[in-house]
Amino acid sequence: MTIIRRRTLAGLAAALFLSWSGTPLLAQTVGGALVAGTYAGANSLDPHFISSTTARTFLSGIFESLVTVDENGSPIPMLAESYDVSVDGLTYTFKLRTNVTFHNGQALTATDVKASLERFGRISPEKIIMATVTGIDTPDDHTVVLTLSEPNPLFIDKLASPASPSSIIPASEAERELNEAGFIGTGPYQVAEWVPDNRFVMSKFTGYAPRTDAEGRDGLGGKKTAYLDKVTFLIMPETSSRIAALESGQVQFVDDVPPATAERLKSGGQINVVPLETFQMPALVFNFAKAPTSDIRVRQAILAALDLNEALPVVADNGPSTLDASFLYAGNALYSEAGSEYFNQANVEKAKALLAEAGYKGEQIVLNVGSLGIMTRMGLVVNEQLTNAGFNVLVQNMDVPTLLSSFTTDEGWNLATGGFGVQPFLGAYSWQRMINGPTNLSRSHNDTEMDALWAEFNAATDVPARAEIFSRIQGHTYEQAYFAKMGNVGQNYALSPKLGGFTSWPGPVRFWDVWLEP
């Protein structure tokens, strides 16, 4: 086999040292128990069916994959020591690290990888990644060979995605169906307890084998060190409760801190506030399968009615935000303004004309609103603006796990508050599952033009070609009104000054390489 690419972490140590935002070694403290207050629970903690920001945070320290993403969202090896790709792009050979064990003490082998990837391709929301894989072979205990039916230049990028990661679990667990697999991974922490909607607890895995060819953490990869003995996540939907718990010392970390509260905490000097300027893209998701939003004119009327100059500050709670139509953050090589004519139109008269053309006669439009603050605020302002434009809106308030479950069914909703966290950070390829294929959020079941666009994108071999195609994908998404992007928003984390080593980034919150000072 002729090799055209080989990727390892060897040789990257110096770069990782420069990019790693840890604290000098002498300041690090081993031991202790951290308690974190988080705004939401998770509807599923299956290692192959992760669909929320909170679930990614819970499980990012538990499970690992063959490849993962670095601090900039680019793929790097994790459980793979290295990987090779054949000249024709059809064969991917992964060499596994030989010192890795699962939390149950079992050594990682190629058999586990094969079974895990097969399960991932069967049940994951991101299973489209495996659609072109025709075979998984294990010539020895530490070699896995994937054969593709056609070249897929972005295959490694997709396999590394943490959106719903291709976690490696024991082969015996991979035989189990959705939500029946145990929490047995290879990460620096192992699951100690999970009480849905109450708490998630993980403890240090003393048998963890970190990579030795990196200086420290790098995104979800690099050298991971579990300094803490235990991390407990308390599910605390009420912002005031989280902040009170932090100020009283009950917890040492909280997320989703409102801007005004963040300013108060900073001025007090007793709490550290860590901002994240680009946290997510809040969006109003449309259901293609349920009337009246099954009519494109009704969906386009909703886009026309939204005044984001008024709505975005409300959604962002007057915190960091930008009005930007692109599905990717500024600076990305595939950034595009395609479809911006549909963004922030604030044109009620156009909306009414489209409704009249569609024959809309006041049929009920069901708006599902999640319990997160950002979703609640979105629901309030969207309901007001759509009602003023002549829509008959019925608001259904629900917890976040219930909201996420609604995206898997055609019935019971027309609109839903949502948001895209990792997609604008990871890049264009990560949008496919959101807007294409059988698990797309908008329940679009026969958009052949979208199918063709993604097929063209996945076959493209250079960045300029992908940029042009993704521009058409973004434009088509706006034209068909898959969702209404509200803008870009940031968020704040607040933490005890005793919590060292924490840094924010657009991926899951990381509690390895952090510690509690005495």
The DSSP string of 287-326 is -TTSTTTTSHHHHHHHHHH--HHHHHHHHTTTSSEE----
Q: 496 near 249, Cβ under 8 Å?
A: yes
3-state secondary structure of 426: helix
Q: How far is CA 203 from the centre of its chain?
A: 23
Class of the domain covering 3-236+496-516: alpha beta
Find the mean pLDDT for residues 85-92.
Answer: 96
- Which sign does the torsion angle of CA 50, 54, 56, 60 carry? negative
What pLDDT is attached to residue 404? 87
Give the integer Cα–Cα distance in Å for 136 and 113. Answer: 9
Find the mean pLDDT for residues 70-99.
Answer: 95
Find the mean pLDDT for residues 218-244.
Answer: 96
Each residue's pLDDT tens digit, 462-494: 999 999 999 999 999 999 999 999 999 998 999
What pLDDT is attached to residue 444? 96
Find the mean pLDDT for residues 86-97.
Answer: 97
Which residues share a beta bridge with 133?
148
Pairing of strands 364-370, 392-398: parallel
* Alpha-helical runs (H) found in 324-397: 348-358, 373-388
Pairing of strands 483-485, 272-286: antiparallel
Tell me which residue has tokens 């002498």: 26
Residues 6+ apart with CB under 8 A from 462: none
| 14, pLDDT greater than 90 | no
Residues 6+ apart with CB under 8 A from 516: 29, 32, 33, 34, 228, 252, 496, 498, 499, 500
Each residue's pLDDT tens digit, 382-418: 999 999 999 999 999 999 889 988 898 999 999 999 9
Q: 150 near 455, Cβ under 8 Å?
A: no
The percentage of the chain sitting over the pLDDT mark of 90, rounded to a whole number, equals: 81
Give the integer Cα–Cα distance in Å for 74 and 451. Answer: 25
Residue 21 pLDDT level (bands cut at 50, 70, 90): very low
Give the integer Cα–Cα distance in Å for 423 and 360. Answer: 34
Q: How far is CA 494 from the centre of its chain?
A: 21
Tell me which residue has tokens 């970390």: 253
| 25, pLDDT greater than 50 | no
Give the integer Cα–Cα distance in Å for 260 and 243. Answer: 12
The percentage of the chain sitting over the pLDDT mark of 70, rounded to a whole number, equals: 95
Amino acid, single-letter form, for residue 179: N
Which residues share a beta bridge with 95?
82, 143
DSSP assignment, residue 81?
A: E
What pLDDT is attached to residue 219? 95
3-state secondary structure of 187: coil
pTM of the entire structure? 0.81
Give the integer Cα–Cα distance in Å for 59 and 510. Answer: 10
For residues 350-388, b (16+ Cβ closer than 10 Å) or e, as one string? bbbebbeebebeeeebbbbbbbbbbbebbbebbbebbee
Q: Report the CATH architecture of 278-490.
A: Roll (3.10)
| 262, pLDDT greater than 50 | yes
Where do the structural domains in the chain lie, given as residue ranges?
A: 3-236+496-516, 278-490
| 79, pLDDT greater than 80 | yes
Each residue's pLDDT tens digit, 193-230: 999 989 999 999 999 999 999 989 999 999 999 999 99
Residues 6+ apart with CB under 8 A from 468: none
What pLDDT is attached to residue 27? 66
Q: 35 near 234, Cβ under 8 Å?
A: yes
DSSP assignment, residue 443?
A: -
Backbone angles phi, psi at 393, to 5 degrees: -100, 130
Q: What's the chain's length in residues? A: 518
